Amino acid sequence: MSDLILHHYAMSPFSEKVRAMLGYTQLPWQSVITREMPPRPHLDDILAGGYRKIPVAQHGADVFCDSRIITSEIAALSGKPELAMEHCSDAIQQFVQHTDLDVFFACVLSANSKAMTRKARASLSLWDLIRLVWDRINMGRKASVKLVGPKQAGPMLQTHLEHLEGMLTQSFLFGATPTIADFAAYHGLWFIRDLAERSLISPYPRINAWMNRIKAYGHGQRRDISIDDSIRIARDATPRDIAEEFKQDARIGKPVTIAPSDYGQTPTHGRLVGATPQRWIIAREHNAVGTVHVHFPRQGFTLNG
């Protein structure tokens, strides 16, 4: 079995969440750089079947959509269950849910800067940058949940920063070692401090020291491969077995669609082949790879069929 493959791009905050976790666990992984927005034919058509958010991870012929599923895979591969939501306390789960949605958008809206524009222009043409902004605006407009607006972003971010500063009486948010909560909180603030180079976090010494501890983990044992390499790896592999206990749903074997229930709601079509307490598993067929299994979290996704 090959190492975990991450389909990502440099300025993606949720990709940084996963990259930082890979640095902490020191798992070997393979990097596939993809576009900042669709079309991404190798994901849209071949591997993930329309799912439009980044990052996407892959392990052989199994494809993992949404950072919650990806972090569960990292937790299992590294033997660190505290990196998976399902193994954490209710307090951590509630913190992550709030931070990954409301606080994340407050961070993004607070990260506008000349440095951010300069970095975006270094990797995107002016036309692609305009298309990216328009794409994100449309995604927000079509969201089925009310996202944080510009007027709410600043006060929400300040409240969040004050809360974090008070929490950091130890090295990490919930104790002496990192949990998924640390990486969920880190990536939005990374977007502000390290990518946008804004000074909004400067008045918070504990937060800066905590961010530096996470940043010091780096991105781990990364090896770059091509899109064609990732497709070949999927083609040469077989999806991993699914236990019989996870094949009891009445819809197993039937055509279904699944899509995020908040934003970026492009559906994925396939056959339901697995249903665990935390995830749905969809089988898809494509001439380039044969059969792949695409994994989605139950929470935050809607299954129809």
Assess whether pLDDT exceeds 80 at residue 2. Answer: no
Q: Is the separation of the CB atoms in 26 and 221 below 8 Å?
A: yes
Assess whether pLDDT exceeds 80 at residue 140. Answer: no
Reported as a single tens digit per residue, the pLDDT across 166-178 is: 999 999 999 999 9
Assess whether pLDDT exceeds 70 at residue 51. Answer: yes
Q: Where do the DSSP E strands lie in 177-300?
A: 221-224, 255-260, 268-275, 279-286, 290-297
Distance CA 156, CA 148 (A): 9
> Helices in 168-203 by DSSP H: which ranges?
180-190
- Would you state the structure tokens that stand for residue 118, as one six-digit string? 């300069």
Task: Specify the higher pLDDT residue, 248 or 142.
Answer: 248
- Would you state the structure tokens that stand for residue 188, as one six-digit string? 């939005």
Give the model's confidence band at 133: pLDDT under 50 very low, under 70 low, under 90 confident, else very high: low
Q: Single out the residue of 276, 284, 214 nearest to residue 68, CA to CA.
A: 276
Reported as a single tens digit per residue, the pLDDT across 187-232 is: 999 999 999 999 999 999 999 999 999 999 999 999 999 999 999 9
Assess whether pLDDT exceeds 80 at residue 126. Answer: no
pLDDT of residue 219: 97
Q: Is the separation of the CB atoms in 280 and 296 below 8 Å?
A: yes
Reported as a single tens digit per residue, the pLDDT across 55-78 is: 999 999 999 999 999 999 999 999
> How many percent of the chain have pLDDT more than 70?
92
pLDDT of residue 38: 83
Reported as a single tens digit per residue, the pLDDT across 245-274 is: 999 999 999 999 999 987 668 899 999 999
Reported as a single tens digit per residue, the pLDDT across 107-119 is: 988 998 999 889 8
- Strands lying side by side in the sheet with 56-59: 221-224, 28-33, 4-8, 56-59, 62-65, 290-297, 279-286, 268-275, 255-260, 301-304
pLDDT of residue 78: 97
Strand partners, 30: 5, 223
Q: What share of the chain is helix, strand, coil (3-state, %, to 5)?
A: 45, 20, 35
Domains of the chain: 4-81+222-304 (3.40.30.110), 88-215 (1.20.1050.10)
